[in-house]
């Protein structure tokens, strides 16, 4: 390996782990956003049963970060080593716990659009300024702003509103439709990622069993292309609708799993070379 190649490899590695570090930071951002929203959504406080509904994105992102790091360990850092059973079992256990949390968070995502189906018309109110005090306005998915005399006329020019179930929070018809769309995109995005890791697990199983080609591998490749396209479209949807952070986060995850895909390709090539 010449000096230029070594330099490029170091730059690539720094870039890769910078992406991973940024994803870890995003866990804190989601927690901050959902904590603020939970104060409005759950007036009596968040119960143990409601934690997943209140902090779905935080739990989901943290679990995905842990899962990503286990994939990095198994497909790159440790793939050339003969793992002792305790190490292999530990990785499987950590990944299993992450999957449980991710599926649990997926349930939380599903509950959000269902919750929007339970909104009720707010009778007797045609002006948001009548709600100044303890009421809030849902300006975006998981983003509530207290209605005050200074901002009550800036949220909506509509004269009819909906109250979100169990909350002192309102939204107009246009905002409700937008929030429902965003919530369903979250569900589609989460489902697509679950399928991605399922296919990755199959890829890793094929690799460990030296199955470098065949119908299963080609099918997996086609499925992953479709799923990554769905994830890219979700990212574009967020970007077009002004959700800059969600767009940024989605792009980081796509880049991160591109690195995992590269790890698997490199692993497969090394296996083919060794068997030649």
When pLDDT is cut at 50, 70 and 90, the band that residue 254 belongs to is very high
Cα distances (angstroms) measured from residue 66 to each of 23, 24, 63? 10, 9, 5
Residue 124: CB atoms within 10 Å: 6
3-state secondary structure of 209: coil
When pLDDT is cut at 50, 70 and 90, the band that residue 92 belongs to is confident
- Of 64, 171, 78, 166, the C-alpha closest to 115 is 166
Q: Could you tell me which residue, 258 or 84, shows the higher pLDDT?
A: 258
Residue 104 in this model has a pLDDT that exceeds 60: yes
- pLDDT, one tens digit per residue, over 32-49 is 888 887 777 776 677 776
Mean pLDDT of the chain: 83
- Of 11, 27, 10, 7, the C-alpha closest to 252 is 27
Compute the distance between CA of residue 92 and CA of residue 75 in angstroms, rounded to an integer: 13
When pLDDT is cut at 50, 70 and 90, the band that residue 233 belongs to is very high
* Strand 120-121 versus strand 143-146 pairing type: unpaired
Lowest mean pLDDT among 34-48, 180-194, 224-238: 34-48
Number of separate helices (H) and strands (E) present in the chain: 7, 5
- pLDDT, one tens digit per residue, over 132-159 is 988 999 988 878 888 999 998 888 888 8
pTM, full prediction: 0.80
Compute the distance between CA of residue 228 and CA of residue 186 in angstroms, rounded to an integer: 15
Cα torsion 114, 120, 125, 130: sign: negative
Mean pLDDT score, 79-84: 59
Compute the distance between CA of residue 20 and CA of residue 263 in angstroms, rounded to an integer: 15
Residue 255 in this model has a pLDDT that exceeds 80: yes
Mean pLDDT score, 74-87: 68
Q: Which residue has the tokens 């950590």?
A: 94
Mean pLDDT score, 198-210: 77
Mean pLDDT score, 220-233: 92
Q: Could you tell me which residue, 150 or 276, shows the higher pLDDT?
A: 150
3-state secondary structure of 82: coil
- Of 191, 249, 243, the C-alpha closest to 58 is 249
**pLDDT above 70 coverage of the chain, percent:** 87
Mean pLDDT score, 248-271: 84
For position 85, what pLDDT does the model report?
72
- pLDDT, one tens digit per residue, over 107-138 is 888 988 888 888 999 888 888 999 998 899 99
For position 252, what pLDDT does the model report?
93
The DSSP H or E segment spanning 111 is helix 85-116
146 forms beta bridges with 136
For position 163, what pLDDT does the model report?
92
Residue 257: CB atoms within 10 Å: 20
């Amino acid at each position: 390996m010449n000096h230029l190649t070594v330099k490029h490899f170091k730059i690539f590695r720094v870039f890769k782990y910078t992406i991973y570090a940024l994803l870890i930071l995003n866990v804190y951002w989601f927690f901050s956003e959902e904590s603020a929203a939970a104060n409005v959504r759950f007036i009596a406080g968040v119960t143990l049963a409601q934690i997943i509904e209140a902090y779905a994105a935080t739990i989901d992102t943290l679990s995905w970060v842990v899962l990503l790091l286990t994939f990095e360990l198994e497909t790159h850092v440790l793939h050339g080593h003969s793992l002792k059973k305790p190490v292999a079992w530990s990785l499987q256990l950590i990944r299993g716990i992450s999957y449980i949390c991710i599926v649990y968070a997926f349930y939380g995502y599903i509950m959000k659009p269902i919750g929007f189906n339970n909104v009720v018309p707010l009778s007797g109110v045609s002006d948001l300024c009548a709600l100044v005090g303890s009421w809030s306005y849902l300006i975006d998915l998981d983003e509530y702003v207290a209605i005050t005399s200074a901002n009550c006329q800036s949220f909506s020019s509509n004269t009819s509103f909906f109250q979100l179930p169990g909350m002192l929070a309102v939204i107009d018809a246009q905002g409700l439709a937008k929030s429902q769309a965003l919530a369903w995109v979250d569900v589609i995005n989460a489902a697509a990622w679950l399928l991605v890791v399922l296919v990755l697990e199959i890829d890793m199983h094929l690799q460990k069993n030296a199955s470098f080609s065949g119908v299963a591998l080609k099918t997996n490749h086609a499925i992953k292309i479709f799923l990554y396209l769905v994830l890219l479209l979700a990212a574009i949807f967020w970007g077009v609708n002004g959700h800059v952070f969600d767009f940024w986060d989605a792009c980081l995850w796509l880049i991160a799993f591109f690195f995992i895909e590269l790890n698997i390709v490199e692993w497969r090539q090394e296996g083919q070379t060794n068997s030649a």
